[in-house]
Amino acid sequence: MTTSIVRATSRRRFLQFLAGSPLFASGAVSAYAAETPSKLPDPMIWAPATDDLIKSPKDAINVFDFEPVARKNVPPAHFGYMASGIDDEVTLRANREGFLKFQLRPRRLNDVSKVDMSVELFGTKYDSPIFISPTGGNKFFHPDGESAVARAARVGNHLQILSTSSNDSVDDVTKARGAPIWFQLYASPQWEIAQALIKRAEAAGCPVLAVTVDRVGGRNQETLFRLRRSDTRECNTCHDRSSFAKRVVRRHNYDGIDLSSITGSGESSNLSWNTIKRMRDITHMKIVLKGIVTPEDAELAVQNGIDGILVSNHGGRGEDNGRSTIDALPEIIAAVNGRIPVIVDSGFRRGTDVIKALAMGAQAVGVGRPYLWGLGAFGQEGVERVLDLLRTEIRAAMQQCGVHSVKELNPSFVRRAT
Ligand SMILES: Cc1cc2nc3c(=O)[nH]c(=O)nc-3n(C[C@H](O)[C@H](O)[C@H](O)COP(=O)(O)O)c2cc1C
């Protein structure tokens, strides 16, 4: 071996070591590691673009194929908003790495030529366990925004949860989906605003209110802030960020609501169990809490008459707590003990990821970034293909596990790796 080959090989080994080490897997190191053959948890977050990007949705082999195309199409600041975690992004990576802690125990010889992937949530049947997690401002990624996502969700009959901060209004998105959707609530610090949003969602026919309880403080979105610096456009030209009311001008769920009382950034810092009780008193919608990550809070949710729990760490975007949702899920399922439905999101990218959560006892699994990658890459068709790939992988994983229906999955199909 020549000296230069030896040096290159040992550098690659060193970078692979760094990329694999939880102590060093920072954003910067991940970007370096993209030069190496090592497989990152969420490949290509902000790494240099490859030159063999897919040209059409049908070329995609897995959901990750859409991310570098979205990276190319979407302005750096908007891409950074989507990709970012918090601080060291430990939670962001843990969400992917968490699946490595669990293994499947497939069963054989069960004639799986017919597989039923459908699930039922609060009396409504969906054709698969995958749902659309709420994400704000989808027009950051494609001019067709949340309505395009809704049309794609309609194709596969997926549940869609719409963000309070969506660009398209809950009425428009319900129309595009062609069926009722769930509404995610950012309560804001002002009760009157929460009340007005709840009334809007109820009037639009939403059967379920998913109240987000894990965004109550400020956050350091380092990847967003770094990528924003590389954006040559002037953000203030499109977004007047001088007040909350001005910032949400294109977020149409807020239309007609008086926002002048919000002086800060609008986070729901004063949210408490009492606020949830007040919500319970003014709406017939079922209430699901989004962002529960401990069995203690799951127990309190049941005691407070909550209808369901969405185990979520906001895709590693709330606080950098360091724990994946797949790791937290079993103890929450145990605490709830079947009294109310538990659904989950954060880091799900593969059919086998989904099967692991369903086997643990989750009733459905949400995705956030994957459909935004599809949207940013190819609009509605991209989202359709992302959902199609996930369904294909889930079906195959169910067949390989020897189950005919989601109901047959139980904890015996999964074990914690030793
Ligand atoms: C760009 C982006 C915007 C988001 N906006 C919201 C939101 O408005 N409300 C909310 O409750 N969660 C929001 N989330 C969190 C998602 O609902 C979901 O919990 C998360 O994306 C799941 O993790 P994943 O992206 O790894 O699939 C957002 C996530 C992303 C990536």
- Look at residues 11, 16, 34, 35 and name the one whose alpha carbon lies nearest to residue 3: 11
CA distance 359 to 104: 9
Closest CA to ligand 1's atom 5: 135
Residue nearest to atom 14 of ligand 1 (CA): 135
pLDDT band at 5 (very low <50, low <70, confident <90, very high): very low
% of the chain residues with pLDDT over 90: 84
Reported confidence tier of residue 241, pLDDT bands at 50, 70, 90:
confident
Catalytic (active-site) positions: 314
Kindly list the distances between the CA atom of residue 311 and the CA atoms of 164, 238, 302, 398, 412, in Å, as whole numbers in the listed order. Answer: 19, 34, 14, 22, 21
pTM across the whole model = 0.90
The finding on whether 223 has its CB within 6 A of some atom of ligand 1 is: no
Q: What are residue 292's DSSP bridge partners? A: 311
**Residue to probe by mutation, ligand 1, list 92, 138, 139, 163, most atoms within 8 Å of CB:** 163
Distance between CA atoms of 319 and 346, rounded to whole angstroms? 13
Q: How many CA atoms lie within 13 A of 215 on its CB side?
A: 21
Residue-wise pLDDT tens digits, 84-135: 999 999 999 999 999 999 999 999 999 999 999 999 999 999 999 999 999 9
Q: Which atom of ligand 1 is nearest to the CA of 290?
A: 11
Residue 390: is its pLDDT beyond 80? yes
Give the separation between CA 133 and CA 344, rounded to whole angstroms: 10
Binding site membership of 312 for ligand 1 (Cβ less than 6 Å):
yes
Pairwise CA distance, residues 296 & 302, whole Å? 10
Banded pLDDT at 40 (limits 50, 70, 90): low
Cα 384 to ligand 1 centroid, rounded to whole Å: 18
Substitution site in 86, 317, 329, 386 for ligand 1 pocket (most atoms within 8 Å of beta carbon): 317
The secondary structure of 307-342, three-state, reads CEEEECCCCCCCCCCCCCHHHHHHHHHHHHCCCCCE
Range from 28-32, 46-50, 131-135, 304-308 carrying the lowest mean pLDDT: 28-32
d(CA 266, CA 269): 8
How many other C-beta atoms lie within 10 A of the C-beta of residue 8?
Answer: 12
Specify the pLDDT at position 29. 35
Q: 122 alpha carbon to ligand 1 midpoint, in Å?
A: 22
Whether the per-residue pLDDT at 198 is higher than 50: the answer is: yes
pLDDT digits (tens, 9 = 90+) for 284-335: 999 999 999 999 999 999 999 999 999 999 999 999 999 999 999 999 999 9
**Ligand 1 atom 21: residue of nearest CA:** 368
Strands 208-212 and 286-292: parallel
According to DSSP, the β-strands at 102-104 and 414-416 are antiparallel
> How far away, in angstroms, is 353 Cα from ligand 1 center?
18
Please tell me if the CB atom of residue 315 comes closer than 6 angstroms to any atom of ligand 1: yes
> pLDDT tens digits for 156-195?
999 999 999 999 999 999 999 999 999 999 999 999 999 9
Kindly report the backbone phi and psi dihedral angles of residue 370, in degrees, each rounded to the nearest multiple of 5, phi listed first. -55, -40
Distance CA(69)–CA(57), nearest Å, equals 10
Q: Is the pLDDT of residue 22 over 90?
A: no
Any ligand 1 atom below 6 A from CB of 368? yes
pLDDT digits (tens, 9 = 90+) for 401-410: 999 999 999 9
Question: Does residue 174 line the site of ligand 1, with CB under 6 A?
Answer: no
Q: How would residue 50 be classed by pLDDT, with cut points 50, 70 and 90?
A: low
Q: What is the DSSP string of 92-139?
A: HHHHHHGGGGEEE-----S--SS-B--EEETTEEESSSEEE---S-GG
Cα 60 to ligand 1 centroid, rounded to whole Å: 23
For residue 287, the SS3 value is strand
- pLDDT at residue 31 is higher than 60: no
- Residue with the smallest CA separation from ligand 1 atom 1 is 82
**Gap from CA of 76 to ligand 1 centroid (Å):** 18
Residue 352 Cα to ligand 1 midpoint, Å, equals 21
Check whether 267 has a pLDDT greater than 70.
Answer: yes
